[in-house]
């Protein structure tokens, strides 16, 4: 089966930023995303939403250009102030046109 290489962006961040991250990736041009609850601790340790749920894991498959845009916004507006990590990986998908 013919597959297309695309970027999978994974963002792990504080639960309270959920709506903002959704806006961010939508504005950058993503067509869909998946959010799951995540637990863990990083360099900033305590989370505000501790009683309610700590982190979310946000995933979206996009073109390299959109991926770049998303990382750019994260780097300028979020990395300094909030607990956020983000990484890119290449994934091979069928129906590549669905994601770009």
Partner 1 sequence: MFDILKINLCSPLTLAFALGVFARLVRSELSLPRDLYTSLSIYLLFALGLKGGVELSHSSIAAISGPAAVTVLLGVITPITSYLVLRRLGRFSIADSAGIAAHYGSVSAVTFIASQQFVTQAGSPAEGFMPTLLTLLEIPGIQIALAIGAFQLRNESMKTEGGGTSASKQSTRELLHELLTSRSMMLLVGGLIIGVSVGDQGWKAVQPVFEGLFKGLLTLFLLEMGLAAGARLGDLRKTGLFLLGFGIVMPILHGSLGAYLGSLAGLSVGGCTVLATMAASASYIAAPPAVRMTLPEANPTYYLTAALAITFPFNLLFGIPIYYAISQAICL
| CB of 16 vs partner 1, minimal distance in Å | 5
By CB under 8 A, residue 27 contacts partner 1: no
50 lies in the binding site for partner 1 (CB under 8 A): yes
Please list every residue from 51 through 80 that binds partner 1, using CB under 8 A.
Answer: 51-53, 77
**Judged by CB under 8 A, does residue 46 bind partner 1?**
yes
Residue 47 touching partner 1 (CB under 8 A): yes
Q: Which long-range contacts (CB under 8 A, 24 or more apart) does 72-80 make?
A: 73/24, 73/28, 74/11, 74/24, 78/13, 78/17
DSSP E strands, the chain: 4-14, 34-38, 55-62, 84-93
Shortest approach of partner 1 to residue 23 CB, angstroms?
11
Return d(Cα 92, Cα 84) in angstroms, integer: 26
Task: Check residue 48 for interaction with partner 1 (CB under 8 A).
Answer: yes
Q: How many helices (H) and strands (E) does the chain have?
A: 2, 4
Is 38 a binding residue for partner 1 by CB under 8 A? The answer is: no
- Which residues bind to partner 1, rule: CB under 8 A? 14, 16-17, 45-53, 77, 81-82
């Amino acid at each position: 089966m013919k597959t297309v290489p695309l970027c999978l962006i994974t963002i792990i961040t504080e639960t309270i930023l959920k709506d903002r991250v959704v806006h961010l990736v939508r504005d950058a041009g993503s067509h869909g995303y998946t959010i799951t609850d995540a637990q863990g601790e990083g360099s900033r340790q305590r989370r505000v939403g501790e009683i309610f749920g700590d982190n979310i894991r946000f995933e979206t498959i996009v073109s390299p250009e959109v991926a770049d845009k998303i990382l750019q916004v994260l780097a300028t507006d979020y990395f300094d102030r909030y607990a956020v990590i983000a990484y890119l990986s290449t994934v091979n998908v069928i129906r590549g046109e669905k994601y770009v």
